[in-house]
Structure 1
Amino acid sequence: MLELKTPAEIEALRVTGEFIAGLLDDLTRLAKPGVNLLDLEHRARRLIEDRGAQSCYWDYSPSFGRGPFRNVICLSVNDAVLHGLPHDYVLRDSDLLTMDIAVSIDGWVADSARSIIVGTPRPKDERLIEATERALAAGIAASVSGNRVGDISAAIGAVAADYGYPVNTEFGGHGLGRTMHEDPHVSNTGRAGRGLKLKPGLTLALEPWLARTTDKIVYDDDGWTIRSADGSRTAHSEHTIAITDGEPLVLTQSVTTTTMAGPTRSEHHGHP
């Protein structure tokens, strides 16, 4: 069941989104070679507690996980891309780290993910992150009233295809608001003109994620961490947005540019 939000409710969501953006900025600065993933988890817990926010991940028990999830952030490294369970791992130079978090403030949820390179960047990793960021931007641009969910999916998938990356459709974007997951599901590839019609007040989390050479996934023994089936590196970018009468609003936009060491300047067409 869809719940369209009022302008005042969207502003409440923006408050949560701005907090999440600041939290990810903070962790991005902290994530350096030699830092333990558990240090990032504990920092996120402290920031959430200090703000009086509530984690949407703590005690989360979906059908696909080995629940309950007893952490406040997903931290996925290199070939891990989704639902990475924070554990005793010390970050190394050139690791590709994805941070994904959802919190609730005053009953309103926002969700965002960011992939960064720890230390020395590798061009192939920069390119992969860039692909998810551009796919996310394309999905946001298609998120206008009167379009359909399929238009968002098609826009995201077109960027992935342009870069030559395969797309997994088992996990994708979703509605959110009072809870972390609401209708509709937003696949990361699809056909334009299909699916639910977008209306002002609809709030969505768009989250293109890609593995360099496969669309297949495997689970770690922890029952949560999802990796590329062939061990290739992965990246994930996510924003919470709101459909309006005009341009879509990005509610989790960072005020700093911290996702990559620098933009990839190489030609991006074709396969990596």
Structure 2
Amino acid sequence: MTVTIKDAAGIAAMRVACRLAAEVLDYLAPFIKPGVTTNEIDKLAHDYMVDVQGCIPAPLNYAPHGGTPYPKSICTSVNHVVCHGIPNDKPLKKGDIVNLDITTIKDGWHGDTSRMFIVGDASPAAKRLCQITYDAMWKGIAQVKAGARLGDIGHAIQVFAEAAGYSVVREFCGHGIGEKFHEDPQVLHYGKPGTGMELKAGMTITIEPMINQGRRELKEMNDGWGIVTKDRSLSAQWEHTVLVTETGYEVLTVSSGMPPIPAFIQPQALA
């Protein structure tokens, strides 16, 4: 397993790439309304990244294992789509929930973040799932510091989500990130405290729990990329890129438009 420890220059570059990824989500937020298609959202994101930010959309033509290249610039996962939803021409409707997953490449460095959006208004159950998943991500982030273990992150997320009556997706996880889109280590969203790799200052990882309203079992869509809940229950996901520091963490993908940080989070270096 090869884990990269970023030096001061690498950390500075990661801060830029991650800030830009978060700003794409802020830019897209006003467009997430009933009637818009995810293809239209994808084009808005692509043009903003390329023409305004001078970035490269990392997902576009991404083929990590020699499979079918991903055909779009962002992932748009609607309702029971867990992750890697490919944008299409189906209009979003009132009550839908959608995850927009953004990864930018700026000067060779990757910034990765995702956010849930509620289209128009949604049921209390859908809103609760989105909120609990957001809080679960932060429960995991709060465990990050040099000397902690990856299992501490997963355990905090799993215990919180399952206590709320939800299930945690196990087949997909967070990851190291830097000059490569996906680096070691894998960051599981379940586990036992005190187990797994020890975190070291200078590591940059994503924490991105996928939480299902129903059972955790999944199946793959026919397009070779999209993953859905087997029981067609709703699924939600949030993601931040996090820098491990000697005393805690720095969340690199913060922005002015993101939701408020949960009250249970202690004051930290967030950006």
TM-score by shorter chain over 0.5: yes
* Mapped partners of 1:92, 1:235: distance in 2: 17
Aligned to 2:61: 59
2:67 matched to 1:100?
Answer: no
Does the residue aligned with 1:253 lie in a helix, a strand or coil? coil
2:232 matched to 1:238?
Answer: no
**How far is the alpha carbon of 1:7 from its aligned partner?**
2.7
Does the residue aligned with 1:224 lie in a helix, a strand or coil? coil
* Mapped partners of 1:4, 1:37: distance in 2: 36
Summarize the Cα distance change of 1:97–1:47 in structure 2 as closer, same or farther, 3 Å threshold. same
**How far is the alpha carbon of 1:66 from its aligned partner?**
5.3
**Alpha-carbon displacement from aligned partner over 1:71-111 (angstroms, at most 9, x marks no partner):** 11000111112000011110100111111111110111111
* Mapped partners of 2:149, 2:41: distance in 1: 37
Does the residue aligned with 2:27 lie in a helix, a strand or coil? helix
* Mapped partners of 1:76, 1:3: distance in 2: 30
2:151 matched to 1:150?
Answer: yes
Summarize the Cα distance change of 1:92–1:66 in structure 2 as closer, same or farther, 3 Å threshold. farther
* Mapped partners of 2:259, 2:141: distance in 1: 20
Aligned to 1:136: 137
Aligned to 2:20: 19
**Alpha-carbon displacement from aligned partner over 1:221-253 (angstroms, at most 9, x marks no partner):** 111111110111110000000001123000001
Please say if residues 16 and 110 of structure 1, whose CA atoms lie closer than 8 Å, have aligned partners that are also in contact: yes
2:29 matched to 1:28?
Answer: yes
**How far is the alpha carbon of 1:257 from its aligned partner?**
4.0
Please say if residues 28 and 258 of structure 1, whose CA atoms lie closer than 8 Å, have aligned partners that are also in contact: no
Q: Structure 1: any 5+ residue segments left out of the alignment?
A: 264-272
Give me the TM-score of the superposition, normalised by structure 2: 0.92
Does the residue aligned with 1:43 lie in a helix, a strand or coil? helix
User: How do 1:37-48 residues align onto structure 2 when only pairs under 5 Å count?
Assistant: 37-48=38-49
Please say if residues 74 and 86 of structure 1, whose CA atoms lie closer than 8 Å, have aligned partners that are also in contact: yes
- Provide the alpha-carbon RMSD of the alignment: 1.5
Aligned to 1:79: 80
2:90 matched to 1:89?
Answer: yes
* Mapped partners of 2:227, 2:154: distance in 1: 22
Summarize the Cα distance change of 1:257–1:201 in structure 2 as closer, same or farther, 3 Å threshold. closer
Aligned to 1:173: 174
* Mapped partners of 1:62, 1:158: distance in 2: 32
**How far is the alpha carbon of 1:59 from its aligned partner?**
1.3
Does the residue aligned with 1:254 lie in a helix, a strand or coil? coil
Instruction: Tell me the percent identity.
Output: 38
Q: Structure 2: any 5+ residue segments left out of the alignment?
A: 263-271
* Mapped partners of 2:24, 2:102: distance in 1: 9
Aligned to 1:188: 189
Does the residue aligned with 1:87 lie in a helix, a strand or coil? coil
Does the residue aligned with 1:98 lie in a helix, a strand or coil? strand
Please say if residues 202 and 244 of structure 2, whose CA atoms lie closer than 8 Å, have aligned partners that are also in contact: yes
**How far is the alpha carbon of 1:258 from its aligned partner?**
4.9
**Alpha-carbon displacement from aligned partner over 1:35-56 (angstroms, at most 9, x marks no partner):** 1111100001101112211121
Higher alpha-carbon deviation: 34-43 or 3-12: 3-12
**How far is the alpha carbon of 1:152 from its aligned partner?**
0.8
| Structure 1 counterpart of 2:156, one-letter code | A
**Alpha-carbon displacement from aligned partner over 1:89-148 (angstroms, at most 9, x marks no partner):** 101001111111111101111111111110012111111111111111011110111101
Please say if residues 66 and 224 of structure 1, whose CA atoms lie closer than 8 Å, have aligned partners that are also in contact: no
* Poorly superposed stretches of 4+, deviation over 4 Å: none
* Mapped partners of 2:221, 2:151: distance in 1: 31
Aligned to 1:270: none
Does the residue aligned with 2:211 lie in a helix, a strand or coil? strand
Aligned to 2:268: none
Length, aligned pairs only:
259
